[in-house]
Structure 1
Amino acid sequence: MTSHQTTQTMKPATAAKKLGVYLQATPAEFQEGVISRNELNALQTDPPEWLVELRRNGPHPRPVVAAKLGISIAGLARGGVTEALTTEQIDALKKDSPEWLQRERATQAEVRKEAARIKEKNAAEADQPGRPRS
């Protein structure tokens, strides 16, 4: 009995998400087709010029915009940013540093600090033998 392995494929939206690019900014042939796992791997290891350019200058999807600004996706929405932004627009926001961005960065810093505190607490509890785990 021979095993027949089918090629894994994904929708363009999924591939764009994995590549960290804004789907609407990709070439039409990318948006209209299906992408195999092998094609995705090839795009990641040897990106074509359009992908390099998109990653460098955007427009970037919201998760990338949020990461570049150092805030959460929800923080973007609270700040009124609902569209994809270019690198130039992101840099301008960083330079202007509006009040909402400062507030969201402070919130994100607190979230990270709390996550680190909980991680340390859990690690310390795990190191104590005989303590019941919750």
Structure 2
Amino acid sequence: MTSQKTAQTMKPATAAKKLGVYLEATPAEFQQGVISRDELNALQTDPPEWLRELRRNGPHPRPVVAARLGISISGLARGGITEALTTAQIEDLRAEDPEWLRRERATQAEVQKEAERLKAAEPRRSRS
């Protein structure tokens, strides 16, 4: 007796997160269905126009906004940014370069520097 393999499926929110897009900006058929692993792979390898447009112009989910600004998601919240932003809005923020954004970038740089220091120290600790 052979067992039939069932396709792995995921909720639209999970698929949107994996694709790096804001769920509420996706087409209705994407939001209302379930997405199989094969469908997700197809969207990643050959994105349709709506997906290319979302990735290019947004609105972008907060993790993407934070990455494009070079800060953490928490830093976004501290700066009062709680909604998805378009590419144009992100560019406007960069151009304005408000104090909170400069402060969050500095904080992010310190966190990154500390992470690198700890990673470099790790091999020395395991040898002892």
TM-score category, normalised to shorter length: over 0.9
2-structure distance, mates of 1:25, 1:9? 21
Q: Which residue of 1 aligns with 2:39?
A: 39
**Which runs of structure 1 show a deviation greater than 6 angstroms over 4 or more consecutive aligned residues?**
none
2-structure distance, mates of 1:104, 1:35? 36
Q: Which 5+ residue runs of structure 1 have no aligned equivalent?
A: none
1:34-92 superposed Cα distances (whole Å, 9 cap, x missing partner): 10000000000000000000000000000000000000000000000000000000011
Considering only CA atoms, is the larger Rg found in Structure 1 or Structure 2?
A: 1
1-structure distance, mates of 2:87, 2:76? 15
SS at match of 2:89: helix
2-structure distance, mates of 1:123, 1:82? 39
Q: Which residue of 1 aligns with 2:15?
A: 15
Number of residues paired by the alignment? 128
Is 1:29 aligned to 2:29, yes or no? yes
1-structure distance, mates of 2:68, 2:124? 33
Q: For 1:1-134, list aligned pairs within 5 A.
A: 1-126=1-126, 128=127, 131=128
Normalising by structure 1, what TM-score? 0.94
Which amino acid counterpart does residue 50 of structure 1 have in structure 2? W
Q: Percent identity?
A: 77
Segment of structure 1 superposing worse, 116-125 or 87-96: 116-125
1-structure distance, mates of 2:44, 2:108? 29
1:82-134 superposed Cα distances (whole Å, 9 cap, x missing partner): 000000000110111000000000000000000000001112233x3xx2xxx
1-structure distance, mates of 2:123, 2:107? 24
